[in-house]
Amino acid sequence: MTDRTPDNSEVQRMSLESALDVLARRREEQVVVGTMTANGVWREKSPHDLNLACIGFMGGASTLALGVALAQPERDVWVIDGDGSLMMQLGSLGTIAGAAPNNFLHIVIHNGVYETSGSQPLPSQQQVDFARMAEGAGYAQTASFGDAEEFDAALDELLAAKGPTLIQLYTRPGGRFYSARPTPPGITPALARMWPPVAEALAAD
Amino acid sequence: MTAQSIPADLLLSAIREAGVQDVVLVPDTHQRTVLDLLMDDDHIRTVHCSTEDEAIAVSAGLIIGGRRPMMQIQHAGLYASVNNLRGVGLDGQFPIVMLIGLLGRDPELEPEADGSSMVRLCRPLLETLGIPSYLLDGPDDLHHVAAAFDEAAERGGPVALLVGTTTS
């Protein structure tokens, strides 16, 4: 039995920008995989040659990051995931917990909606709790924050501990809407342009 | 034609000779004897995934990080993973080699003549996606394993190896 009656409508929520500011202040040489609306904001706040993005395969950010983390055990790898994205490949929580990379930080932006497609509600929008799911899957540590100052105060201790760690950040939807433009024939896809320089940087280090 | 069973130790040797460092897998009944050997292998790491689309993304991440992975899945998982195969494998131009078991295939028939849609549609799907595939119908076909890695690197994209009958 649980004594908790989940109701996400009552949780405190911060802005996406304030949440990512907290992370950006700790950015050093981590590989960071972003996805969906948070990715654009992250790249503005923390431009870096070790940024990767999950674009065009929604749900794949966390396992792309897992591969990098397993290949580079001495380097911290962060993924800035979305709640809708994680819902699409929820089994990845078990995959990540099973692989148990100590260097893996899983940020989940919990705004409760599919923001890129027009802010439609997530399934179980009012109930879903990814920190509890990750705890059940076997992550080493989990935490949730809805206030940027509290997140800021707790983050260093969370980063110092062994992962895999999942931090759920309750944020307010920002109304960011993404409408894909047609891709001209013959264009090299963004992912194919993006990852080779990251691979080269990692190999050179 | 009659497909012959490939002994697990020979397939493992071919995987080793191809320089594989990580096998990213969702278990395949067809290749269970190889899986048993891989999980006891001291030199090749296995990464166990919940779904095949995860296996594609994990493989891509390993490649970015400088490793040489190989995916090992079942044909049903190929169908389940098409969006990541497209979005990661094709759009990302990742040299991912996939070992795919044709569970339930009649070894007397070409896969396209099989009664099971999972077997019959496998090569047509790969062809639609523009992914080269090679049938491993016996020990004589194991040279395709190392060659698949060369081809994947050269073309910048996935290559599939179809395990034609149960490994022994």
**A95, B84: Cβ pair inside 8 Å?**
no
User: What domains can you pick out in chain A, each with its CATH number?
Assistant: 9-175 (3.40.50.970)
Write out pLDDT tens, residues A87-117: 999 999 999 999 999 999 999 999 998 888 8
The CATH number of the structural domain formed by B8-163 is 3.40.50.970
Q: What is the DSSP letter of A186?
A: T
Confidence bin at A9 (pLDDT 50/70/90): confident
For residue A7, the model assigns a pLDDT of 81
- Find the DSSP H helices in chain B: 8-17, 32-39, 52-64, 75-80, 82-84, 117-120, 122-129, 143-155
The overall pTM is greater than 0.95: yes
Which tokens belong to B136?
């491993």
**B87, A191: Cβ pair inside 8 Å?**
yes
Q: How far is B96 from chain A (nearest CA, A)?
A: 13
Task: Quickly count: other Cβ atoms within 10 Å of residue A204's Cβ.
Answer: 6
Taking 80 as the threshold, does the pLDDT of residue A1 lie above it? no
Confidence bin at B131 (pLDDT 50/70/90): very high
Q: How far is B40 from chain A (nearest CA, A)?
A: 16
Q: How far is B5 from chain A (nearest CA, A)?
A: 31
Write out pLDDT tens, residues B61-80: 999 999 999 999 999 999 99
Which tokens belong to B95?
């040299």
Measured between beta carbons, which residues in chain A are less than 8 angstroms from residue B86? 57
Q: How far is B67 from chain A (nearest CA, A)?
A: 6
Nearest to A116 by CA among A47, A53, A35, A14: A35
Confidence bin at A191 (pLDDT 50/70/90): very high
**B67, A71: Cβ pair inside 8 Å?**
yes
Measured between beta carbons, which residues in chain A are less than 8 angstroms from residue B66? 71-72, 199, 202-203
Query: Does A173 reach chain B within 8 Å, measured CB to CB?
Result: no
- Whether the link from the prior residue into A164 is cis, omega within 30° of 0, is yes
Long-range contacts of B112-119 (CB under 8 A, 24+ apart): B118/B75, B118/B76, B118/B79, B119/B75
Report ipTM for this prediction: 0.97
**B58, A52: Cβ pair inside 8 Å?**
no
For residue A117, the model assigns a pLDDT of 85
- The mean pLDDT of B3-22, rounded to a whole number, is 96
Measured between beta carbons, which residues in chain B are less than 8 angstroms from residue A69? 61, 65
- Find the DSSP H helices in B65-135: 75-80, 82-84, 117-120, 122-129
Taking 60 as the threshold, does the pLDDT of residue A3 lie above it? no
Taking 60 as the threshold, does the pLDDT of residue A2 lie above it? no
Q: For chain B, what are the domain ranges?
A: 8-163
Return mean pLDDT, chain A: 93
